[in-house]
Structure 1
Amino acid sequence: MADGARNQERQFRMTTKPIFIGGLFKSGTSLLRAMLGQHSHIAAGLETYWFEVDWDARLGRDEEPLADYVERMAGFFDIEIEWAHSAAEKAESASAFVTSILNEFAIRQGKPRWAEKTPGNILHVSRIKENWPGAKIIHIIRDPRDVYASLRQAKKWDSVEMFGNLWCDFMGAGARAASVVHEMRYEDLTLNPEECMRKAIQFVGEPWEPGVAEFSGRSEDYDKVMTLSGHASSTLDRLRHPLTNNRIGIWRDLIAADELKSLRDFVADCGLGDAYDQVTEAAVTSTSR
């Protein structure tokens, strides 16, 4: 097959069946993205936050100039700034621009498909399906007590009210989208990676490759973000190390019992007390298998 025809075929697959990963911050979205990206058919890079871009107003994230956003995406995905600006000029929406960038990112890796991981994807399932009708969406869930503990360590959303509202927003969105997403548990991913990844690979419709169930760590993402922005998240720092389950149960040493009760009461007042119990019980079940 000629190169032009081959690229045209890849373009069709990538624009119709991309993969989106979502889930609450500190729930394993970055780990899952890195593991999926080890598949020979899937290119997976850094977050785009495509849904926060106001294309018509020419504004990127946090109302930054769109040009700054475009250049950051070029850096994140190893694409020339001129190429990215040209793609932005041709695009009529943020989703169209991101599609162009990620298509090019995947093609340059010799892969026919891409995966986009931004935690808030789970809040925008309807928009994903509208813009990418054939998309496959994976929602990863972690014990909320450990998520709360991790966010406290990162000094983000570290009060009962702030975290409780955030958790309810994400879990509520996940529940509403349950019929069209594949739900995965962080505890299963770290304790039983092959079983967990086999299900994910089957869901997205790719052939099984044992390498996706192994992860020895990667520093490229941390180094890239540090170079481009001068700071990187604790998540990318941990991603430099091999797969481990030693972050399961960290809440036991970090969160007091009365605070956990307040958290459970808060989400119950939001109508998600049963969901909280189900997720925490599932985490216990995973660790006892």
Structure 2
Amino acid sequence: MIIKYRVVHRVSIKEALVIYSRFFFRKLEDLFASPVITDKKALLVAGCGHSGTTLLAAKLGNHPNIFAVGRETEFLLPDKNSLVTASKLLSEWVYCAEYLGKEYVLEKTPKHIYFIDRAGVIAPNHKVLVTIRNPLDNVASLFKRFGDLDLAIERWVNDNHIVAGIAGSGNVYVVRYEDLTAAPEATFISLFEFIGDSFDPSILEEGKTAYDSAVLKGNMVVRRDQVKSRIRVNNGAWRKVLDEEQALYVWRRVSVVAQALGYHGLEDCYFPTDDESNGCS
């Protein structure tokens, strides 16, 4: 069975029954949820995995006005928490922000893109910061992690189909990975205009991030170490993972959603090397 908001979306029937039973009881409890009353703003970073969500959140968390939760809490996922519990978690983070003199609470869970409506119940003044990445690089990175090309393609299509649907919302800001890595300062200046605060160039400096203070496991251990560094261009890395035939196969599978996100042709995924000109040929 397919449950799209799971990290690995293919699940057994037994797993699906457990997940849906939890979902049912959490939804009943949701009826008793109420918003967190605060002047602090919630910033939710989400998007397809391996599209730059950790990088974006780590650098944002370096800002003096932002309190960053240094792990993926999944607090909005309905089989993990009811909105009553999610509200209590958010209240604790707000308390930390108030204690530290911060104006914003920042949390990053990629799969929250499926549950932005739940955020609106408990955090009416929230904003969603979504990352997107060209499909060849993004799928190749997922393929390296999971070892299944079709699963990687499915995840990219599923997650980014949701992104394309919410991109026009007034409280959603979309960050292209290619812009984030090629022109980080300009990208963050524009992003902070959307947030309503001033850009601080010190956030881009190399050093510790909020993710250093949490106990992490799996893929996040790798990401924690990577995002300490200065941002660098990493476009075209798919060439080390996919051959030309696989690249064409990926594009055929993702093209409809890719074009909706502004990746209008396969050439948008072909980044030139030192001995190569622009274009697909």
Q: TM-score range by the shorter chain?
A: 0.7 to 0.9
Task: Decide whether aligned partners of structure 1 residues 283 and 127 sit closer, same or farther in structure 2, where only a CA change above 3 A counts.
Answer: farther
- 1:210, CA displacement in angstroms? 2.5
Structure 2 residue aligned with 1:28, among 52, 57, 61?
A: 52
Letter of the 1:248 counterpart: N
- Equivalent in the alignment of 2:150: 161
Q: Structure 2: any 5+ residue segments left out of the alignment?
A: 1-36
Residues 146-189 of structure 1: CA deviation (Å, up to 9, x unaligned): 11222233x22x42321122111111111111122111111111
Q: Is the 8 A contact 1:122 1:173 kept in 2?
A: yes
Q: Is the 8 A contact 2:136 2:269 kept in 1?
A: no
- Equivalent in the alignment of 1:6: none
Letter of the 1:51 counterpart: L
Aligned-partner Cα distance in 1 for 2:88–2:272:
40
- Equivalent in the alignment of 2:143: 152
- 1:279, CA displacement in angstroms? 7.9
Q: Is the 8 A contact 2:61 2:210 kept in 1?
A: no
Aligned-partner Cα distance in 2 for 1:48–1:102:
12
Task: Describe the SS at the equivalent of 2:51.
Answer: coil
Task: Describe the SS at the equivalent of 1:139.
Answer: strand
Q: Is the 8 A contact 1:160 1:262 kept in 2?
A: no
Letter of the 2:38 counterpart: F
Task: Decide whether aligned partners of structure 1 residues 248 and 53 sit closer, same or farther in structure 2, where only a CA change above 3 A counts.
Answer: same
Structure 2 residue aligned with 1:244, among 232, 246, 266?
A: 232
- Equivalent in the alignment of 2:18: none
Aligned-partner Cα distance in 1 for 2:121–2:136:
34
Aligned-partner Cα distance in 2 for 1:136–1:18:
6
Structure whose residues are more often helix by fraction: 1
Task: Decide whether aligned partners of structure 1 residues 256 and 49 sit closer, same or farther in structure 2, where only a CA change above 3 A counts.
Answer: same
1:170 lines up with 2:159 in the alignment: yes
Aligned-partner Cα distance in 2 for 1:260–1:187:
18
- 1:194, CA displacement in angstroms? 1.1
Structure 2 residue aligned with 1:224, among 191, 208, 214?
A: 214
Aligned-partner Cα distance in 2 for 1:13–1:179:
25
The CA RMSD over aligned residues, in Å, is 3.0
Q: Is the 8 A contact 1:143 1:280 kept in 2?
A: no
More off after superposition, 271-280 vs 177-186: 271-280
- Equivalent in the alignment of 1:233: 221
- Equivalent in the alignment of 2:64: 40
Aligned-partner Cα distance in 2 for 1:160–1:148:
8
Q: Is the 8 A contact 2:72 2:109 kept in 1?
A: yes
Q: Structure 1: any 5+ residue segments left out of the alignment?
A: 1-10, 55-59, 62-90
- Equivalent in the alignment of 1:260: 247
- Equivalent in the alignment of 1:100: 91
Task: Describe the SS at the equivalent of 1:93.
Answer: helix
Letter of the 1:25 counterpart: G
Task: Decide whether aligned partners of structure 1 residues 286 and 35 sit closer, same or farther in structure 2, where only a CA change above 3 A counts.
Answer: farther
- 1:220, CA displacement in angstroms? 5.9
- Equivalent in the alignment of 2:24: none
Aligned-partner Cα distance in 1 for 2:157–2:219:
29
Residues 110-147 of structure 1: CA deviation (Å, up to 9, x unaligned): 21221111111222222222332211111111122111
- Equivalent in the alignment of 2:259: 274
Q: Is the 8 A contact 2:131 2:176 kept in 1?
A: yes
Q: Is the 8 A contact 1:18 1:135 kept in 2?
A: yes
Residues 208-240 of structure 1: CA deviation (Å, up to 9, x unaligned): 32323x2303266246325xx598532122123
Aligned-partner Cα distance in 2 for 1:141–1:92:
27
